[in-house]
Chain A
Amino acid sequence: MDKTLQLIQHLYDERDGLDLDDALQQEYDDLNAVKGVLDRREPASPDPEVVDRVVTAAGRATAHGSQSEPERRREERPARARDTQTDARLLRRAGATLALVLIAALGWWQWSEPTSSSTPPAVSESAPQSFDAAAPESESARRSAGTVRSVSDLPDWDEGDDVVRLHQRIEILNARSTASQWGSSALLQTTGQQRP
């Protein structure tokens, strides 16, 4: 090893008995002067609260010795990081809930759309005839038939497909419920006539 390097070890008491010539002795004195300045440098200490927190964490680690490593890490994470993670978790949950609601709404819309668009025209065309022919004596059936018939009498400005379909659907449901209330004879005859 180079003598100048051995000199550094000698300076820090890691090597004894080093023979120094004049040049090395001069370098030793120069470096020792700097070391003396560094040795007098005031030590820096951490804040007492930080030391207390560390010791508390050490105590908690012994109390929770049975905890798994991820659990311990979660517990010892700084409060700031924990808040951020909680916020992120809440946001994720809210997002997932919103997505579920949207999917459910979309599914309901998809399911209800074909039913409302296909059923009414078939029934609406046959319903007025069947009610007229099969149950002339039923007041409620007559009233329903009259109402259904009135769909075709809707004014021009109110003939939007959706509105008409919705209206027809309501009237059909109304007729069905009325028929079953009175023994469902009208409806039974109606469905019988609808068969090919």
Chain B
Amino acid sequence: MNPSDEDLVTAYLERDDEQAFRRLVERHQDRIFGYLMGMVKDRATANDLFQETFMRVINAMRDGSYTHRGKWLSWVMRIARNAALDHLRKQKKWADVPQDEEEGRSFWDTLETEEPAADEQLHRAEQRDWLDAHIDRLAPEQREVLLLRQDTDLTFREIADLQDVSINTALGRMRYALKNLRKMIEESGKTSLAGDVDPQ
């Protein structure tokens, strides 16, 4: 049986079970790190912020500040978001800067093909970079909702709470994020996005 987040939190706090904490981190590391990467666009910085986030999480859990029983991930995401925004404000980079686009390359060219397994990882990383370049061009509030929903799997209600906005605002931002992303992908590629998403 797979223990819930709360089971693992309890094991760590009440029985000092370090492995329980490791399972918690490993279970959610991609969600949290994916969000941080999307926000700061730099792997080393995202690693630093990931570590900083968990240092804050550990301190808060140990001194009894964690009171969001049943919502550990959304609580951690709030801390991660604060860490990311603090960093961006320090860097004065909260305003978006459009990234350079690769010329003459269709989005469909970047999607999965039947390439040899040895190249697959690199190919997927390139796809991610290419898609991230488009996501980076979204307005910051739209980009953040998209990253939170796609990468961290928070519900729109949780995202609205996190951003301190109404659920309608969060949903509206997501709608525009998807529409704008679609437009960007269509404009950048030779293939239309309309219809089937399968590039083949």
Contacts and interface: CB of A to CB of B under 8 A. Distances in A.
Contact of A62 (B18, B55, B178, B195): B18
B66 interface: no
A104 interface: no
A79 B147 CA distance: 31
Contacts of A1: 168, 171
Interface stretch (A8-16, A113-121, A162-170, A181-189): A8-16
B195 A58 contact: no
Interface stretch (B22-30, B82-90, B95-103): B22-30
Q: Is the interface of A mostly helix, strand, loop or mixed?
A: helix
A47 interface: yes
A196 interface: no
Contacts of A36: 197
Contacts of B37: 44
User: Interface residue tally of chain A, by bracket?
Assistant: 35 or more
A2 B128 CA distance: 32
A44 B54 contact: no
Interface of B: 12, 16, 18, 21-22, 25-26, 29-30, 33-34, 37, 43, 46-47, 50-51, 54-55, 58-59, 62-63, 107, 111-112, 124-125, 127-128, 131-132, 146, 149-151, 155-156, 168, 171-172, 174-175, 178-179, 181-182, 185, 193-197
Interface of A: 1-2, 4-5, 7-9, 12, 14, 29-47, 50-51, 53-55, 57-59, 61-63, 65, 69, 72-73, 76
Given A12-B156, A39-B150, 16 more contacts: A8-B178, A12-B149, A14-B156, A30-B179, A31-B179, A37-B131, A37-B185, A38-B150, A40-B111, A40-B127, A43-B30, A44-B46, A45-B30, A54-B55, A54-B58, A59-B18
